[in-house]
Amino acid sequence: MLKLDNVSKVYRVGAFGGKALYAVNNVSFEVQKGEVVSLIGESGSGKSTIGKMILRLLNVTDGKITFNGTDISTLEGEALKEYYRQVQGVFQDPFSSYNPIFKADRIFKVLHEEFFPEVPGAEWQKRVEHALSSVGLNPMHVLNKYPHQLSGGQLQRFLIARALLLDIQFLVADEIISMLDASTRIDVLNLLADLKSRGLSILFITHDLSLAYYISERAVILYKGYVVEQGAVERIFHTPLHPYTRMLMESVPRLDRKWEKGVTLLERKIEEFRNGCPYFERCPVAEKLCAVYRPPLIEVETDHAVACIHYQSSSEVQNPLDLVPQSTRPTSSM
Ligand SMILES: Nc1ncnc2c1ncn2[C@@H]1O[C@H](COP(=O)(O)OP(=O)(O)OP(=O)(O)O)[C@@H](O)[C@H]1O
């Protein structure tokens, strides 16, 4: 359904845009119909940039995004409008999507005028009420109110209802539950699960591995714009391979044990680093070679790929400076 092929995004930064910042680097993955794929990574790893490129809010610098086989960068006019009927996004801060001087349900009026001007008002009202009910809201309680009179969870559901009115096939859900309280979180998560069971595909953007495990079938782990691990969420959750994914797993608080270990920060000299593994600075098991060698994603078992030198056989490793010829597979203590 939706496919990213070697997608990169470069921002021009610094004085007069003289420096290139690779926010997303050569990322490839696919989301099938009715599938939820989680895009996981810490702040600044490029998650939102990917979401915005899918929603055509940002152009792709390199590579291609296709939706049902069509390169989305070629869409214009009616074809682009049709794309937005099928692909929509909901973002982290629900309040920022509303203008506080207008009632919250204005988003439905705008949608009516823009996409469905031929539908009579009474019929549209019925559709709005139906969409609100299907996201668990009582139309009587939430219509005709200003944004400040509704909770974050209700506003978030409004946005999902808006997407449903378009009869979308693909939803980009960018950190949509991070601002909600625990009970509302679970409601919105269950709503997403329900939408999935009705055939909707979702790209679920999060920094929280446990949320991803709850909702998705597949996961893509991003670090500094690179995919470091991807595959079936069960495999990643139960057998995380990349040292970064392991660190994320250690950061998940668990009720059955005291939280002792946090983020591993190592004192590794950055001067040593020359276009090597993006995780080199922080990796507890990095070798000298990792400073200069960037490992490709290698499938180590069905539906589980990792980009780490420790999972490549030494013959596959192209040592750019002929520094260290051997690398060994990690032991269970890694
Ligand atoms: N318009 C921009 N111009 C320059 N750099 C940008 C721009 N937008 C994002 N970046 C940079 O691109 C990188 C990726 O940003 P992005 O917002 O995609 O990360 P993220 O993983 O979604 O983070 P968060 O979880 O904090 O939203 C960051 O280093 C960010 O500073």
Q: Where are the domains of the chain?
A: 2-234, 241-316
Q: What is the mean pLDDT of the chain?
A: 84
The mean-pLDDT minimum among 69-73, 129-133, 142-146, 266-270 falls in: 266-270
The partner residues of 11 in beta bridges, in order of sequence, read 21
What is the ipTM metric for this complex? 0.97
Q: Which residue's alpha carbon is at the smallest distance from atom 29 of ligand 1? A: 44
Round to whole Å and give the CA distance between 10 and 274.
19
pLDDT band for 261, please (50, 70, 90 cuts): very low
Q: Is the pLDDT of residue 67 over 80?
A: yes
Q: What is the whole-number distance in angstroms between the Cα of residue 46 and the centre of ligand 1? A: 6
Round to whole Å and give the CA distance between 220 and 205.
10
Among 56, 71, 55, which Cα is nearest to 6's? 71
Q: Is the pLDDT of residue 315 over 80?
A: no
Q: Is the pLDDT of residue 332 over 80?
A: no
Which residue type sits at 220?
V
pLDDT band for 316, please (50, 70, 90 cuts): low
- φ, ψ of residue 77 to 5 degrees: the values are 50, -125
Per residue in 230-253, pLDDT tens? 999 999 999 999 999 998 888 766
Token readout for 71 is: 């390169």
List the strands of the sheet with 36-40, edge to edge.
Answer: 87-90, 170-174, 201-206, 36-40, 218-223, 226-232, 304-306, 298-301
pLDDT band for 326, please (50, 70, 90 cuts): very low
Among 11, 190, 188, 225, which Cα is nearest to 90's? 188
Beta-strand runs (E) in the chain? 2-13, 19-31, 36-40, 62-67, 70-71, 87-90, 170-174, 201-206, 218-223, 226-232, 298-301, 304-306
Q: What is the whole-number distance in angstroms between the Cα of residue 28 and the centre of ligand 1? A: 18
Token readout for 213 is: 């495990």
Cβ 22 under 6 angstroms from ligand 1? no
> For a substitution probing ligand 1, which of 8, 39, 40, 48 has the most ligand atoms within 8 Å of its CB?
48
pLDDT of residue 239: 92
What top-level class would CATH report for the domain 2-234? alpha beta
pLDDT of residue 246: 92
